[in-house]
Structures are given as structure tokens and as C-alpha cells.
A = this chain, B = another copy of it.
Amino acid sequence: MSDVDLKRRRPTINDVADRAGVAIGTVSRYLNGGEIRKSNRRQIEEAIEALGFTRNAAAASMKSAKTGIIGFLVPTFDEFHASLLNHLAPLFRSTGHTMLTYSHEEDPRLFEDAMAFFVSQRVDALIAAGIPKADELLAGCVESGIPAVIYNNDVRGLFLDRVFVDNAKVVTRAINHLIEVGHTKIAICSGREEESTGAERREGYEAALTANEIFLRQDYIVSGDWSVESGYSAAQTLMSLKDPPTAVFAANYQMTVGILEWMREHSMRTPQDLALVSFDDVDLFRLYDEGITAIAQPVSQIAQAIASYAVSRIENTDLPNIRSRTLQCDIILRGSSGRSVRNREG
């Protein structure tokens, strides 16, 4: 049968058993780390080596419930997720799990595809950022009994573990800092308000102004959509006002990049022409000019919380309560929020 040559049928546990002169049960036990007579062990190892056998995970996972796979639904491979994934991978690895990613680009249809895919793969757990409309989709996963952990955006009313950061609180602190330095004309370039991160960051902004009895000017509140472009046009909008702000808080990294681009094109510098504080901290902010003051998410802690929730649910399928963890962010003070020359209120 040259058929074997052509089709390259992969060797199975049967082939290994044949060649080693033992039963398939023995080979299986060998593969799963059971006790094997020394001579047989050698035979089996020889056979596996010679045949180039590798266990078919699909077949294996049909009997044993666990696949060892944890599926991560990545919105997009941005800096935050890149960092999060880099932290998460070793954590899952150390508990014997394999993390696989599937990117959905925040498209609900792709999110659904991703979910369906992971469910069909019978992953042991799912990690996802809550996105608008995710609730219905995640509900199905909850019903099917697959443990899931969500982060970033809340999804109400589902039996899921959650890991968040205290967006509102840290933003309030950041705005307070701008106020202390002398700013009163403080604008915000906010993210999508349908997402709880977007809403919370804006709430934090408003809370700070209110607490300091600074009037909430609607023209200082510009809604972005997290994108670089929306940051760029927010800067444009704000700086075209008759009474432009002296400081702006941008609710994420990308929008800050957009703002910086606009400023560069208009030869404006920070903090002299506009003070700046950004959510998320990246290389750029450390190196840019005198530095961009930024809110750093505790990525390592976030990763740890996610991993521990996921793994504990896998190992103990009937933990009765939802767990929820809200972590604190740090503010990294840099030049962009420094005292500026001409920003004292007249």
C-alpha cells in the first residue's frame, strides 16, 4: 500500500502498540504517565520514536472531559493586550494549561464566532473583555457550564468572575492632580460610553471637577471611540474653541497618540500649550519630550487575578459565588502635567 506513503496517514496508538508488541491500553497508560514494565517502556518509546507518533488530542479529549485549553478572546492585539498576554501565558503554562487566542476586533459577529469556536473546541475556560452585546453571547457560555472570566468592561447579571481596575477613582486622582497644578480648564477625550471602562473614566473626570466646584463645560467633553483618529479630531475640536482648555485627559493610549499628532502638526508643546494626562502607559509616554503623565494599569496583577479565577473554576467546578476583583492603578507623573505658564484661570 503506497497509500500510506501518499496519504501520510498519521501513526496511531494502535500502530505503536503493534510495533512495540503490547496492547493499546498499555501504550495509553504509558502516554498518561502510568506504571509500565521497563522492557515494555523501552519498546514503546522505540516505536513512538520510529513511527513519529504524536497523540491525537481530539481523540483524547473525547473521553477525558478536559482539553487543557483556555481560550482568550482578544479584541485586538494592542499594547495593553500584548502585555496582558505576555503575562498570562506563563501563568497558565505553570498550571498545565495552554492559552490560545482568537481575535474578534470588537465585532459582535466575530465575537460570536470566537465563542462558538472555543465552545466547540470544549475549552476548559474562556477569558474575554466584556464588549457591548457580549452579555447575550456570554450567557450561552454560562449555560453550557464553561467557566469564564471577564475583564475591562462589566457585563451585568451573568455568573462570571470579573477582574476590573478602578477606573473612576484613578481618573479622579489624575484630574485632581491637574487641578492642584493650577488647571481649571480641563477637557476630556473620552472613550466609548457604552463600555463601562469608557463610562467610568468619564465619571471619574466629572467627579473630580464637581468636587472641586469647577463647572462642567459640555464643550470640554469630547466623545472619542478609543481610536487614534478620534483623538486627533478631539484635539482639533477642543483647540478650536474660543476658550480652549489648558489641559486634557485622554481615556486611552491610542487617543493620546492622536492628540499628540495634532499637537505636533500645530507646533504645540506639552505642557506649555496643553497639559496632558493619558490612560495606559507605554514606551512612548516615558520617552516623549518631558514625558507624558499616564495612568498605568497593573497588568501583572490583572493577569494573576484572571489566571487564578480561571484555574480555580476549572479545578473546582462548583464554586458557589461569583468572584470579583477591582485593582488599583498607578499614576506616573511626568512632564506633560507639569505646572504650565499660562494656565491659571483669569
Contact = CB atoms under 8 A, between A and B. Distances in A.
Interface of A: 8, 10, 52, 54-62, 67, 76-79, 81-83, 85-86, 89-90, 93, 98-103, 105, 110, 116-117, 119-122, 140, 143-145, 257, 260-261, 264, 283-284, 286-289
A288 B102 CA distance: 33
User: Among the interface residues A54, A76, A144, A260, which one has the most CB atoms of the partner chain B within 10 A?
Assistant: A54
A125 to B, nearest CB: 14
A119 B82 contact: no
Contact of A54 (B79, B119, B289): B119
B58 A122 contact: yes
Contacts of A116: 54
Number of copies: 2
Given A58-B121, A287-B260, A8 B145 contact: yes
Contacts of A287: 257, 260-261, 264, 284, 288
Given A10-B144, A85-B103, A55 B120 contact: yes
User: Among the interface residues A52, A100, A284, which one has the most CB atoms of the partner chain B within 10 A?
Assistant: A100
A98 B117 contact: yes
A120 B56 contact: yes
User: Among the interface residues A52, A58, A59, A99, which one has the most CB atoms of the partner chain B within 10 A?
Assistant: A58
A57 B52 CA distance: 24
Given A54-B119, A287-B288, 9 more contacts: A58-B58, A76-B86, A77-B77, A79-B79, A79-B82, A90-B105, A100-B101, A100-B102, A288-B288
A86 B105 CA distance: 9
B67 A77 contact: no
